[in-house]
Structure 1
Amino acid sequence: MEGQYLAGRMLLAMPGMFDPRFERSVNVLCVHDEHGALGINVGEVREGVTFHAILDDLGLDTAMAPDCAVLNGGPVEPGRGFVLHSLDWGGGDSIEVHTQEGPLCALSASMDILRAIAQGRGPSQWVMALGYAGWAPGQLEEEMRHHGWYAAQGSREVLFDTAPEARWTGAWKHEGIDPGLLASQTGNA
């Protein structure tokens, strides 16, 4: 695991995960390098929050924007918004997230993308989340050694075409794994 960076992967919480905040979590790993990691959980809806409500709070017109659920992106900075989106929108300060096969999505945290979506000129595919999951240098690697996470291949289909509550199962199935057969703990040899 040392020196292997996992940006572009979908980090899936293993059954029996040591931290209940991440149960059935599907984190799109946007950054992973020697400085740590940043992921956006795309598998859990933030109850009571809609995209239109966020636009209203920011004083943006909602007439052209679709309304949808907002995701619980993670426990760090839970009031900060992030948009994972298709690469057909290039405004603002987006960070491209790549898999080994090519681009997965882009990550934006600017008002520019919210304005563009509100005006009907944003990306063709997107999801919005509040908060993120962050790991200090070496922390994610350590958690992966202790039955915490599985690094699945990043999938645009799972990210953009699967309902949030079905993404955990969908990501496992995309890997060819039946999540119902996974053990909730590991043994020692």
Structure 2
Amino acid sequence: MATTVLHKTRERGFLDGQFLIAMPSMFDANFARTVIFVCAHSEDGAMGFVINRPQRLTFPDVLLHLQILDEEEAIRLPPMARDFQIQAGGPVETGRGFVLHSDDYLSDSSIPVSDDICLTATLDIVRAISRGEGPLKATMLLGYAGWGPGQLETEISQNGWLTCPAREELIFDRALDEKYDRALELMGVSPAMLSTDAGHA
């Protein structure tokens, strides 16, 4: 389904590189007050990542689970790797990890999702981050948000989402609680202004 719309040779859809900002009318609790970065959009569906939901797991937890490090090695992780942020990327395949990152790191499996941001979902980038050799800007997301053909367009037309161009600094900002209001500010909108009659920008 959604993962099939994300591959290296695809043409970018008109919602690629956009933020989806949940409207107050959003009935799905998985997406209430969320900001989603759309990575792929086509006639086959859409895929993106929630960028403002915390994840209880830490990066050392992930490394231990993947058996990349043992507990003694995890204790000696560089501070930047130890504090590397993990987020809940969406309700689909929540046991699967993805890394959104700046384009200063590229591997054979990295996929460009915008002019400056790439997506890598293989262990090579996890190992690089654990050694302090990863990209300058990055965040790991467990799970993703996916839509079937025409589903996202329908949700937007039914006033489920506002859309606006994504901003890199907001994607990688660690202050998750502030992202929803800040995303609205990008559009010149305050939460109090939102109503069920608004459309997309």
TM-score with structure 2 length normalisation? Answer: 0.83
Q: Which residue of 2 aligns with 1:126?
A: 138
- Match among 138, 150, 167 for residue 138 of structure 1: 150
Answering whether residue 42 of structure 2 is matched by residue 33 of structure 1, we say yes
Q: Which residue of 1 aligns with 2:88?
A: 72
- Match among 184, 197, 201 for residue 186 of structure 1: 197
Give the Å deviation of 1:68: 3.7
Answering whether residue 16 of structure 2 is matched by residue 7 of structure 1, we say yes
CA contact (8 A) 1:29 1:38 kept: yes
Q: What do residues 62-94 of structure 1 show as CA deviations (whole Å, max 9, x unaligned)?
A: 413232442111111011001110110012411
Answering whether residue 129 of structure 2 is matched by residue 117 of structure 1, we say yes
Cα separation, partners in 2 of 1:115 and 1:92, compared to 1, 3 Å: farther
2:185 aligned counterpart, secondary structure = helix
Give the Å deviation of 1:162: 4.9
CA contact (8 A) 2:85 2:174 kept: no
Structure with the largest fraction of strand = 1
Once the two structures are overlaid, the 10-residue window that deviates more, 112-121 or 159-168, is 159-168
2:107 aligned counterpart, secondary structure = coil
How far apart in 2 are the matches of 1:7 and 1:175?
18
For structure 2, the 5+ residue unaligned runs are: 1-12
- Match among 170, 173, 191 for residue 158 of structure 1: 170
- Match among 59, 64, 69 for residue 67 of structure 2: 59
How far apart in 1 are the matches of 2:126 and 2:60?
11
TM-score with structure 1 length normalisation? Answer: 0.88
Give the Å deviation of 1:56: 1.5
How far apart in 2 are the matches of 1:60 and 1:162?
25
